[in-house]
Amino acid sequence: KRENISLSTGSVRARVFDRFLFDTPFTKNGKTQGGLEDQWKRRTVLQTEGSFPALVNRLLVTKSESLEFSPVENAIGMIETRTTALRNELEEPRSSDGDHLPRLQSLQRILQGSVAVQVNSGVLSVCTAFLSGEPATRLRSQELQQLIAALLEFMAVCKRAIRVHFRLIGEEDQEFHTQLVNGFQSLTAELSHYIPAILSEL
């Protein structure tokens, strides 16, 4: 079925030339939302006959495809997205002379959302859902390795970001930096219950 797609639609989340993506959460029991271990995602990819921006507001959809991501694939994707956001903040040039100088405020915001104790439930919830006891036995070997690798990479980038943060701050941010360090150490200790190797990797 050929459909029209409009720039005004709120469901379009990403644009790659003439391809558009949107995700729909679902569970196998019919509910839209569930726990991490039950949460599936359907990604719909639409291709149009032309590309935006265009002289018209609507273009004909010529192709539609759907992909399904399992709960563990969702969890891996969530962690990788956080890791990428933090890495991009570290690597994006901020000054005209080409030096890599991350914006302090945005770096602080992302770091706080990654390692602060009150908001690290996302990463810990992933471990509880997939790496604790019986749930871990349901994962394929490749899935288990990918999940652990994603968690280790996330923590390694967090550690690097905290070091960069220390070099950027002044006296007024020392207390905040201490909170970040304490949060990172607490998170590492919690994750070590699920991934003992994390203590030697970091």
**What's the mean per-residue pLDDT of the chain?**
83
pLDDT, position 94: 58
Taking residues 135-153, report their average pLDDT.
90
pLDDT in tens, 52-61: 666 667 878 8
At 76-104, the pLDDT tens digits run 999 999 999 999 998 865 555 545 556 88
Cα-to-chain-centroid distance, residue 172 = 30
Q: For residue 24, report the phi and psi dihedrals to the nearest 5 degrees.
A: -130, 115
The sign of the torsion formed by the CA atoms of 168, 171, 176, 179 equals positive
Q: How large is the average pLDDT for residues 127-139? A: 83
Domain spans, the chain: 3-69, 72-201
The closest of 153, 150, 149 to 161, measured between CA atoms, is 153
Distance of alpha carbon 106 from alpha carbon 120, whole angstroms: 18
CA distances to 58, 111, 115, 202 from 181, rounded to whole Å, are 50, 10, 8, 13
User: Percent of the chain beyond pLDDT 90?
Assistant: 48
The closest of 98, 88, 93 to 160, measured between CA atoms, is 88
**161 or 135, higher pLDDT:** 161
Contact 169, 144 (CB under 8 A): no
- Mean predicted confidence (pLDDT) in 151-168: 95
**Given CA atoms 54, 85, 33, 116 in this order, what sign does their dihedral have?**
negative
CA-based torsion, 162, 163, 166, 167: positive or negative: negative
Task: Calculate helix-pair angle for 121-130, 174-192, nearest 10 degrees.
Answer: 0
pLDDT at 160: 96
Tell me what the mean pLDDT of segment 162-182 comes to.
Answer: 93
* Spatial CA neighbour of 36 closest among 66, 76, 68: 76
- Predicted confidence at residue 76, as pLDDT, reads 96
Name the least confident of 20-29, 90-99, 138-147: 90-99
CATH class of 72-201: mainly alpha
Look at residue 117 in the predicted model and tell me its pLDDT: 54
